[in-house]
Structure 1
Amino acid sequence: MDGKTAIARILKAEGTEYLFCFPHNPIIDVCAAHDIRPIIGRTERVVINMADGYSRVSSGKRIGVAAMQHGPGVENAFGGVAQAYGDNSPILVLPGTYERRALGIPPNFQAVHNYRSVTKWVAQVPFADRIPQLMRRAFTLLRSGRPGPVMLEIPVDVMDEPLNGEPDYRPFKVSRPHGDPRDVEEALNVLLAAKSPVIVAGQGVLYAEAWDELREFAELVGVPVMTTLNGKGAFPEDHPLALGAGGRTRPKTVDHFLNKADVIFGVGTSFTRSAYIVPIPPGKTLVQITINEDDVNKDYPVSYGVIGDARAVLSQLIALARTRLEGPRPSDHVQAEIRAVKTEFLRAWMPRLTSDETPISPYRVIWELMRNLDRRRTVITHDAGNPRDQMVPFYETLIPHGYIGWGKTTQLGTGLGLVMGAKLARPDLLAVNVMGDAAFGMVGMDFETAVRARIPILTVILNNNLMGGYDKYLPVSTEKFGARYLSGNFAKVGEGLGGYTERVEKPEDLAPAIRRAVAEVEAGRPALLEVMTREEAVFPAG
């Protein structure tokens, strides 16, 4: 057995179904021989994005694995890995590298030196007999502690180097650490003594699959819940205690309850300061439950911390709260306040959400998606920029992983790869990505990957023929040279790539077009809807 065969057998032992890849890497064909299906993209960045979406929607229980050529292949993959690192997504990247005798000779690229800042761990395999241990280390890190991308760089001659016998490999059994009981008790005491607490649920709840425990705990203590952008979907947004997601833009309920809160109770969140996360107002008492000790007092002053798995710690909190409370604490007044603020918020925005004007309002598109998709069997994601800022406050997510929220770094086009990976992870769900015309310009050729690889997704393009929001950055360039204006008929592009396509120009045609596209997707064909929209740089925030 040689090194590449050992890698394939280990991946098979770990339950790997797909290898997201771009040739040439020797492990691609060996994995195919072991019935691991190669999904070959058009670009290495989208290949990484597909692995990323696969891991996210699997709660990290199934790891997205990506492979690419040494040199230019792994160089091109950098952006996708950086996105996964920014969003704490666990993926395994297996690039090749030059033969060992050529290492260290400029300009030969070595990932082990260049990827350290965007991976949880990166290493190079020096000898084939080290493969089992290094792969075991990789999967241990992928399934423990803070999620994040892991990379093993494999010299091409190591892939051909023989091993003696079968690799000694057994998958790592995941540990879900509980919190220190004293810390858990102290955190609960603070919450129960608070006058206006708010629970902030991050994506740690999704990776721990702790959504049932979160809901049970919130109902038991009678506390409203907001999610982070990455945690959107961890708490059903039609629940009477739901405030929505606190992103760069957000529903009014988020700011209303954050401003009046005395205690912010974070579960599975890093409490990171970012332009894409609602800021926590000063003067609040923060409680933080996190799997990663590096999160505590990273950005905000945290008074009480519990280190542990979100599901394990929530179970501890529920058991302890039941000994303190005679039953669920009354929350009728909180629910009534949420309803009132939400009603006022939607009333103010309904003219945009239901606008009959042309070009079509992007908010009308989001409203029609809400009305015409079965949100209990749909996973949807935004793209960077205006589509994200317009979708997050208004698209109500009803199921865990019903929305892929991303954006601590914001690479245009990421959503297309994410939703392809999500569809492969959850073939039972309708998979939809909403993107702008600039994002499609970045990665649009990979719509052909969905067609060729038989990944039936629905891509919705909001085409306003410009780069939205850049008027304030490029006023002179735009006035003199038209710098921010774009062009293209993307429905024709999608048709040429083999998908079902429509171009929608009138608001009344939106709902029927969505239903026709969904029918095509459910029949197994990727679909693309190009909706001609206006620029509408008006967003709910603050």
Structure 2
Amino acid sequence: MTPSPDDTVRLTTSQAVVRFLVAQHVERDGERSRFFAGCFGIFGHGNVAGLGQALLQAELETPEGEEPALPYVLGRNEQAMVHTAVAYARAKDRLQAWAVTASVGPGSTNMLTGAALATINRLPVLLLPADTFATRSAGPLLQELELPSSGDVTVNDAFRPLSRYFDRVWRPQQLPGALMSAMRVLTDPAETGAVTIAIPQDVQAEAHDWPLELFAERTWHVGRPLPQPDALARAVEVVRSARRPLLVAGGGVVYSRATEELRALVEATGVPVGQSQAGKGSLPFDHPASVGAIGSTGTTAANALAREADVVIGVGTRYQDFTTASRTAFQHPGVQFVNVNVAGLDAVKHAGVSVVADAREALTALTAALQGWSVDDGYRQEVARLRAEWDATVARAYDRAAAEGGDLSAQPTQSQVLGAVNELSDPRDVVVCAAGSMPGDLHKLWQVRDAKGYHVEYGYSCMGYEVAGGIGVRMACPDRDVFVMVGDGSYLMMATELVTAVQEGVKVVVVLVQNHGFASIGALSEELGSQRFGTRYRARSASSHRLDGDLLPVDLAANAESFGIHVVRTHSRKELEAAILDARASTTATVIHVETDPFVGAPSSRSWWDVPVAETSTLESTRRAREVYEQHKAEQRPHLTPSDPAGA
């Protein structure tokens, strides 16, 4: 039935998009909020007269003194804008998101990395890249991809494999279906990720008579799927058979806000908890059941327990290779897995008993079903001993003795830098990181005191995420200080978002660790027999013609100052501590610049990560590394034995 003129409103496609986004709400557990917090964008010829005009019109139509319903934030790099949006969504437990628009061509394709990061981390973001003309009236366009074999492919088709949902709106009539499908995916915890709706630039500006019902307030309800009774019973049977169980807490525990339910389960049963990068914070570090990080960047406590665990209970984890130490972490010959996850894709991994359910609901059901069962006292004592040993290791790495009267004038190590920030920040403050050596050091060393106090992007581990991500976290959590930990290599990838922090008055504290190169890959290169080749920032030598000359005279502190940021240069632990306290007291963004020695690493996890080494080489260092590699490869396990009691 065609709507009557009284039931329609004439708007451009872009104006319709903006009005639709404003009307979308989300509800979970009785809490309702607007789903879209705003729109990030950089305008070019593809979207300036379309979405740009629509966002301007919406702002100008906002009553004086009120904030726009869909505020616009200008970014400096399209990829970084997506990172900021993703960090915001993670801090909001996926219950609020941003739209991000860019112009046709390189502006749009710059967002591809951000799309991959969002989808891999299962975090919602709506991407609105401009596209070429639907009418093809002006083709070939500036920045248009021309293929001899196809007339309907554009550069935006590269978003297809990176998006959980992709659509292209060739005609205005297609927009309602695309928007509804986008919302379905964005608000589904099991399906969420990057959603891309490409809109040709002529369609963006085209007017259409839209049904008013398209813009009515709509609430998307985020449910909590319950575990099926039979699946729960199978899981309980496996857990009750365990003598040395271990629970692996992933990001799903945090996103489901199931930390109290996790605490109740482990306090009732005594099951120790190891945590993935996304799951770190699901238990505070000092809880008796918390054995800290697990896997390649884990604690020796968690990894020792993992090696002997006979039942592994994964809750909200996708068992990424760092979590499983490339499938070498769990060595018990009869190890069984129970997998609780809202996504069926993750629930079936390692041939485990699959419990497809919301983490909070499943943990509550498991606690009730396991009433009266617990691990024995000997296992509890072993957990306590391993915890105490690791706590002592962290204390040595943080060098608390030096902080209490030793030499505070010496150049700090990276572990000491992390320790100073950890100890001087507030328990509710948030640490943000993504790439280099610091994510691994943070995973094993950082002592989390609040469920939302740890934000390390390690699904894609994208260099350059840190500053942009820190801005997103602070925008989502304005009552928490945000400490961005970033190395010089990652800083150089995307430092320009500091300008956005200044523009929006977003306070972040960026701890910029200068170690003159890629510390993480440098150490890995050495371990794999590649002698740190190409990992240090050095000039090309005139004699060797290699990058082994003097260190580059790069002044990153001066670079940060040029963006209008307050910068503090520190050269010792004492100066660093003073800078941290001053930054906390400040109301504006601060960059703390500190030099460290890249050759002083963090304590070992006594674990492994599978990075193939050259099978044949003339280099002795590579041959030795290959021998070690083959020893570890022999410990890899496929984990294909059924954990299902009925199928065993």
Q: Between 393-402 and 52-61, report the one with greater CA deviation.
A: 393-402
| Structure 2 letter corresponding to 1:361 | T
Deviation digits for residues 391-421 of structure 1 (CA, Å, limit 9, x no counterpart): 2111111222211122232221112111111
Q: Which amino acid aligns with 1:163?
A: D
* Equivalence for 1:8: 18
The one-letter amino acid of 1:388's match is P
Report the CA distance between 1:482 and its aligned residue.
2.5
Q: CA deviation at 1:340?
A: 2.1
Residues 23 and 539 of structure 1: is their aligned pair in 2 closer, same or farther, counting only changes over 3 Å? farther
Q: Is the contact made by 1:179 and 1:306 (CA closer than 8 Å) also made in structure 2?
A: yes
- 2:149 alignment counterpart: none
1:42 aligns with 2:52: no
1:112 is displaced (CA, Å) by 4.9
Name the structure 1 match of 2:236.
188
Deviation of residue 45 (structure 1)? 0.9
Q: Could you say if the C-alpha distance between residues 136 and 319 of structure 1 is closer, same or farther in structure 2, counting changes exceeding 3 Å?
A: farther
The alignment of Structure 1 onto Structure 2 pairs a total of residues equal to 532
Check the 8 A contact 1:466/1:484 in 2, yes or no: no
Q: How many Å separate the matches in 2 of 1:368 and 1:3? A: 52
What is the Cα deviation at residue 372 of structure 1? Answer: 0.3
For 1:192 and 1:399, the matched residues in 2 are separated by 30
Q: How far apart are the structure 1 equivalents of 2:478 and 2:231?
A: 41
**Any gaps of 5 or more consecutive residues in structure 1?**
none
Unpaired runs of 5+ in structure 2? 1-10, 25-33, 60-67, 147-152, 537-543, 607-648
Deviations 1:195-241 (A, max 9, x none): 01111111111222222222222222221111111221222222110
User: Could you list the per-position Cα deviations for residues 32-57 of structure 1 after superposition, in whole angstroms to 9, with x for gaps in the alignment?
Assistant: 52512212111111101001101101
Counterpart of 1:307? 356
Residues 108 and 156 in structure 2, CA contact (< 8 A), matched pair in contact too: no
Bigger mean CA deviation after superposition, 338-347 or 435-444: 338-347
The alpha-carbon deviation at position 459 of structure 1 amounts to 0.6
| CA distance in structure 2 between the aligned counterparts of 1:333 and 1:431, rounded to whole angstroms | 41
Is 2:102 aligned against 1:68? Answer: yes
Q: Residue 37 of structure 2 is aligned with which of 5, 11, 17?
A: 17
For 1:398-437, what aligned pairs fall within 5 Å after superposition?
A: 398-437=449-488
User: Aligned pair in 2 of structure 1 residues 122, 132: CA closer, same or farther (>3 Å)?
Assistant: same
Equivalent position of 2:556 in the other structure: 490
What's the secondary structure of 2:73's corresponding residue?
Answer: strand
Residue of 356, 359, 372 corresponding to 2:424: 372
Moved more, 220-229 or 31-40: 31-40
CA contact (8 A) 2:567 2:590 kept: yes
Partners of 1:318 and 1:139 lie apart in 2 by: 34
Give the partner amino acid of 1:208: S
> C-alpha offsets along residues 124-164 of structure 1, whole Å, 9 cap, x if unaligned?
12222332221121111112123311111111222222233
1:62 CA displacement: 0.4
**330, 333, 336: which one aligns with 1:281:** 330
Q: Pick closer, same or farther for the CA change 1:176–1:349 going to 2, 3 Å.
A: closer
For 1:319, the equivalent position in structure 2 comes to 368
Secondary structure of the equivalent of 1:345? helix
Residue 107 in 1 paired to residue 145 in 2?
A: yes
Q: Which amino acid aligns with 2:17?
A: I
1:453 match: 504
Give the secondary structure class of the aligned counterpart of 1:17: strand
Equivalent residue of 1:163, what SS?
strand
1:440 aligns with 2:491: yes
For residues 22 and 287 of structure 1, the distance between their equivalents in structure 2, rounded to whole angstroms, comes to 46
Distance 1:484 1:286 in 2: 52
Name the residue aligned to 1:82: 116
- Please say if 1:361 is aligned against 2:413: yes
Q: How far does residue 331 in structure 1 lie from its aligned partner after superposition?
A: 7.1
Q: Distance in 2 between matches of 1:476 and 1:209?
A: 44
Taking structure 1 as reference, are residues 277 and 141 closer, same or farther at Cα in structure 2, changes over 3 Å only? Answer: farther
Work out the percentage of aligned pairs sharing the same amino acid. 24
2:571 maps to 1:505 = yes
> Given the alignment of the two structures, is residue 30 of structure 1 paired with residue 82 of structure 2, yes or no?
no
Alignment match, 2:589 = 526
CA drift at 1:330? 7.1
The 2-side partners of 1:260 and 1:430 are apart by 39
Corresponding residue number in structure 2 for 1:57: 91
Aligned equivalent of 2:641: none
Structure 1 SS opposite 2:592: strand
Deviations 1:340-391 (A, max 9, x none): 223323434544321657432011111111110002x211112311111222
**Residue of 378, 383, 400 corresponding to 1:338:** 383
Aligned mates of 1:348, 1:165 — CA distance in 2: 64
| Secondary structure of 1:281's aligned partner | coil
> In the superposition, relative to structure 1, how do residues 68 and 383 fare at CA in structure 2: closer, same or farther (>3 Å)?
same
State the alpha-carbon separation in 2 of the partners of residues 393 and 484 from structure 1.
33
Q: How far apart are the structure 2 equivalents of 1:474 and 1:135? A: 52
After TM superposition, give the deviation of residue 483 of structure 1 in Å. Answer: 7.7
Instruction: Give the structure 1 partner of residue 163 of structure 2.
Output: 119
Q: Deviations over 1:415-448 (max 9, x none)?
A: 2111111111111111111010111111112111
Taking structure 1 as reference, are residues 64 and 292 closer, same or farther at Cα in structure 2, changes over 3 Å only? same
Q: Secondary structure at 1:317's aligned position in 2?
A: helix
**In structure 2, the residue corresponding to 1:100 is in which secondary structure?**
coil
Whether the 8 Å contact between 1:249 and 1:392 is mirrored in structure 2 is yes
How many Å separate the matches in 2 of 1:429 and 1:475? 38
CA–CA separation in structure 1 for the residues paired with 2:98 and 2:326: 29
Answer 1 or 2: which has greater helix percent.
1
Distance 2:550 2:238 in 1: 51
Structure 1 position 166 matched with structure 2 position 212:
yes
C-alpha distance 92-276 of structure 1, shift in aligned 2 (>3 A): farther
State the Cα deviation string for residues 273-318 of structure 1 (Å, max 9, x = none). Answer: 34896743243201101111122444xx223111122122223223
Deviation at 1:64, TM superposition (A): 2.6
